[in-house]
Amino acid sequence: MALTVRTVDGGQTTISLSALEQLRKAVTGHVLNAASPGYDEARTVWNGMIDRRPALVIRCHRADDVVQGVRFAREHRAMLAVRGGGHDIAGNAVCDAGLQIDLSPMNTVRIDHDTRTAHVGPGATLADFDLEAQRYGLATPLGINSTTGVAGLTLGGGFGWLSRSLGLTIDNLLEAEIVTAEGERVRASAGENPDLFWATRGGGGNFGVVTDFHFRLHPVGPTVLAGLIVHPLDAAGKVLRYYREFMATTPEEFVCWFVMRQAPPLPFLAQQWHGKEILVLAVCYSGPSIAEGERIAKPLRSFGSPIADLVGPNPYTAWQTTLDPLLTPGARNYWKSHDFREVSNGLIDTLVKYAGRIPDPQTEIAVAQLGGAVSRVPHAATAYTHRDGQFVMNVHGRWSDRAKDASCIAWARELFAAATPFATGGVYVNFLTQEEGDRVRAAYGSNYDRLVALKDRYDPTNLFQVNQNIRPAVASV
């Protein structure tokens, strides 16, 4: 039977049976429709609020499958979504009634120990990459939830426990292979297609489908000093004021992010704290000597009266999965994010106030620490621009009961508004929700115009638009 699909301009087109058959023959992976096994797996993404049904899914096994998929979408002007790890909060890995290129089978990681580099497939998760690289005691900065896709994380910038000392994920990207909107496979690096390489480092999926990432690796671990220090929320004002002074004295290998939430019923917390609001300091020291990390961490660990202190030597790969149990897929999620240059008194007081009325036990306010190596890269060197943001807040609204949608979203928006006076105005593109298309310009700041010019050059018909979209100025759609 012929298939009706949505087009890039919001209309519809009919794809003939013979065209579908040709596509099936041309790809080594599987072409799925709603009745095929694996269809629901491909269309289900991390954020349980997203429920979209593509007309067709191409599960790609190799780069040529991606070429076929892009050419097919282009020929039929079909709406096209690209799935890496499916963690995008806005759900841009999937679209209704269009075509989905699913890269998840392309999850190979190849480490070259001698050159300390890695080739990573676009379907690999952070866990796939970390586990393989750590077999050689190597790593590159990635995020803090091991089921996240390397692809989407890298294309937006990418940061985690190693970023203060080793930079963003994109600062360690040496080269990428990209299938362009023309359906051509090209390589992008400092020496080859440098403009495309620049745009790929932060510009999201706007410029093509990456089929291979080539990263620089660094010796890390295999043991790091890491863990959580937990305080009651009542102490958060004092602890965070101390934290601010303390962190200014630490080397870049030492990072501390913080989270405010209700205490989960976990065995390391006395039962009396379960369900109560807490401040969690998440510490990671990735320098060469655990003893040195212990020495640096000591004043922070002995400040105030923590109700739990779990800081200790941990395998790096274990630390990379520590927060996974709190970030499982399928929950309803709504995020709001700001960048900050400092953790000011006004910001601390605002966060504590809103943490006191957190609307659900799964919801949290998380603040990541960047600076250091991230800030040393000039802001125009990559599409990711906000390198002056030392802290990134993610108001991480998360709950299960659909009936709580309105109250949880309202709380997140109110906190976001209350924190705005302390923010830089910049935002991390990978934390934008589906309704925040109007913040894409803010996400790229002074780099935005160059990105539009490159979009005009590489994707003038906006084939790659199911993302935080940089609209081409010449767009006919």
Give the residues lining the site for ligand FAD (CB under 6 A).
45-46, 81-89, 92-93, 103, 122, 143-145, 148-149, 151-153, 155-156, 158-160, 204-205, 209-210, 327, 430, 466-467
State in angstroms the smallest separation of the CB of 346 from ligand FAD. Answer: 26
State in angstroms the smallest separation of the CB of 106 from ligand FAD. Answer: 8
SS3 letters across the chain:
CCEEEEECCCCEEEECHHHHHHHHHHCCCEEECCCCCCHHHHHCCCCCCCCCCCCEEEECCCHHHHHHHHHHHHHHCECEEEECCCCCCCCCCCCCCCEEEECCCCCCEEEECCCCEEEECCCCEHHHHHHHHHCCCEECCCCCCCCCEHHHHHHHCCCCCCHHHHCCCHHHEEEEEEECCCCCEEEEECCCCHHHHHHHCCCHHHHCEEEEEEEECEECCCEEEEEEEEEEHHHHHHHHHHHHHHHCCCCCCEEEEEEEEECCCCCCCCHHHCCCEEEEEEEEECCCCHHHHHHHHHHHHHCCCCCEECCEEEEHHHHCCCCHHHCCCCCEEEEEEEEECCCCHHHHHHHHHHHCCCCCCCCEEEEEECCCHHHHCCCCCCCCCCCCCCEEEEEEEEECCHHHHHHHHHHHHHHHHHHHHHCCCCCCHHHCCCCCHHHHHHHHHHHHHHHHHHHHHHCCCCCCCCCCCCCCCCCCC
Q: Which is nearer to ligand FAD, 93 or 347 (CB)?
A: 93
State in angstroms the smallest separation of the CB of 232 from ligand FAD. Answer: 26
State in angstroms the smallest separation of the CB of 143 from ligand FAD. Answer: 3
State in angstroms the smallest separation of the CB of 359 from ligand FAD. Answer: 19
Q: Which is nearer to ligand FAD, 106 or 415 (CB)?
A: 106
State in angstroms the smallest separation of the CB of 160 from ligand FAD. Answer: 5
Q: Which is nearer to ligand FAD, 352 or 408 (CB)?
A: 408
State in angstroms the smallest separation of the CB of 168 from ligand FAD. Answer: 8
Q: Which is nearer to ligand FAD, 79 or 358 (CB)?
A: 79
Q: Which is nearer to ligand FAD, 8 or 307 (CB)?
A: 8
Closest residue to ligand FAD, judged by C-beta, is: 152
Closest C-alpha among 384, 359, 357, 358 to residue 445 = 384
Q: Which is nearer to ligand FAD, 103 or 181 (CB)?
A: 103
Q: Which is nearer to ligand FAD, 36 or 321 (CB)?
A: 321
State in angstroms the smallest separation of the CB of 375 from ligand FAD. Answer: 16
State in angstroms the smallest separation of the CB of 360 from ligand FAD. Answer: 16
Q: Which is nearer to ligand FAD, 162 or 307 (CB)?
A: 162
State in angstroms the smallest separation of the CB of 237 from ligand FAD. Answer: 26
Q: Which residues lie closer than 8 Å to 136 by C-beta, 6 or more apart? A: 111, 113, 217
Q: Which is nearer to ligand FAD, 138 or 327 (CB)?
A: 327
Buried b (16+ CB within 10 A) or exposed e, 53-67: ebbbbbbbbebbbbb
Q: Which is nearer to ligand FAD, 368 or 419 (CB)?
A: 368
